[in-house]
Amino acid sequence: MNHLYAVFIASAVLFVAGGLLLWAARRADDVNYLIEKATPLPLRLINPHDDVWLRGQAECSEPLYAPHFALPCLYFEYTLEEKVTRTVSAGGGKTRTETSWVVRDRQKGAAVFSLRQDKLSIEIDGARAAFKNLSSRTDYQWNLRHSLSYLPYPAQVSCIGCVSEDGRRLEPYARIPLLVTPLSREEFIKKAERGERLLRFFGFLCLFLGAGGLLYGPFDVLGWPRNTGGSFAPELALYAAGGAFLVHVFVWSVYLYNTFVQYRRRVDNAWANIDPDLKMRADLIPALVEVAKGYMKHEREILESLSMLRSGSNRADKIAAESALAAGTARLMGTVEKYPQLRADAAVGKIFRELQALEEKIAHGREFYNATVREYNDNVMAFPRGLVARLFGFRPERYFNEVNAE
């Protein structure tokens, strides 16, 4: 029976590990969603409380120097290990030697630095940030091993976070993390999604193997389908695998149902993020039209057409009006560029910059809305996930441009 206890313990560990990996995949998916939702903006267009992606040159008046390696960096994690050899008893009066690395020292540090774009900059407090995709170095000296993970300085970096109240700092806020990485936004998102998929794959694999092992023991004890006499029986393993498959299908279906609910909610949230920007633009356009009338006497057609444009009250109506509004706003802003005296007007300049920022946010919002719809639809329509989706009444959503085309 000893082999059954060993199988049971190993299977229980695998089953729990599978559950933890699936939980970690769900958490990673939530973080990836927040990261992808943040708007990539130039520094000149950011406003307080914006959650944004920024990329630029890191500048630091006092960079850190990593222990042992003496490399200038913005962040480092240093470990010093010593190779230790021990003599241990092997039983029966015999001994054996074991060699292992023992940690003797750990250090880490983070610098305060600025992210610069042209003449503008914003402060990043490294102590409040999570640094990702670090470089690494290892150095061996006799029986010592020096390991370093670090973000070198100088460097081009990408940062995600929330703009502070005074607009001078990027910081974490609520569920929005403060992240620093040398990768571009696209590279970072692809790598994060790849890690999420690996967690999910190994999570379900561990659940399947763990369930099979946990079912093998009871089948053996009950003597079903036959008594094995305590020896391994391949046919018993097949029955256990079949039971594990049923458990796997049940867990997979529950996991998928929760995924459908979560992704459909994300589609609604993606629209909720666009809607306030559309309303704000609808309020700004009349103000700009009113101020611009005195200057743009030869562009009355643009002004009058924009004045008449109104978005509807529901999502479909607002999306349907978006194409005309976006085209009209682009024409207006392009025309304003032709009038230096108009741009010099303080009121016009302020509204113009706000409209530029809104157009960037709305464009990203449209892209993000379609990305969330695509992720939801891929899960709802793909086989065999589509079977579970139809069973619970989940249907594909329409893309922004599809609603607009109608």
Domain identity same for 198 and 214: yes
pTM value is 0.74
Residue 275 in any domain: the answer is yes
Residue 333 domain boundaries = 257-405
Residue 239 in any domain: the answer is no
Which tens digits make up the pLDDT trace of 330-352? 776 776 677 666 666 777 777 77
Domain identity same for 285 and 206: no
Q: Kindly tell me if the per-residue pLDDT of 48 is higher than 60.
A: yes
Residue 242 in any domain: the answer is no
Mean pLDDT of 372-399: 87
Q: Name the band, by pLDDT with cuts 50, 70 and 90, for residue 317.
A: low
Q: What does the alpha-carbon distance between residue 142 and residue 78 come to, in Å, rounded to a whole number?
A: 18
Residue 247 in any domain: the answer is no
Mean pLDDT of 142-153: 95
Domain identity same for 163 and 221: no
Q: Name the band, by pLDDT with cuts 50, 70 and 90, for residue 174.
A: confident
Where is the domain boundary, 232, 265, 297? 232
SS3 301: helix
Residue 369 in any domain: the answer is yes
Residue 290 in any domain: the answer is yes
Lowest mean pLDDT among 32-36, 304-308, 324-328: 304-308
Contact between residue 151 and residue 164 where contact means Cβ atoms under 8 Å apart: no
Domain identity same for 89 and 53: yes
Contact between residue 207 and residue 11 where contact means Cβ atoms under 8 Å apart: no
pLDDT of residue 5: 73
Q: Look up the CATH number of the domain holding residue 290.
A: 1.20.1440.20
Domain identity same for 51 and 159: yes
Domain identity same for 30 and 53: no
Residue 240 in any domain: the answer is no
Domain identity same for 274 and 363: yes
Domain identity same for 198 and 264: no
Domain identity same for 6 and 129: no
Domain identity same for 191 and 169: no
Domain identity same for 72 and 7: no
How many structural domains compose the chain? 3
Q: Name the band, by pLDDT with cuts 50, 70 and 90, for residue 169.
A: very high
Where is the domain boundary, 175, 194, 222? 175
Domain identity same for 228 and 291: no
Where is the domain boundary, 192, 217, 232? 232
Interaxial angle between packed helices 234-292 and 185-222, expressed in degrees from 0 to 180 and rounded to the nearest 10 = 150
Contact between residue 159 and residue 46 where contact means Cβ atoms under 8 Å apart: no
b (16+ CB within 10 A) / e for 152-189: bbebebbbbbbbeeeeebbbbeeebbbbbbbbebeebb
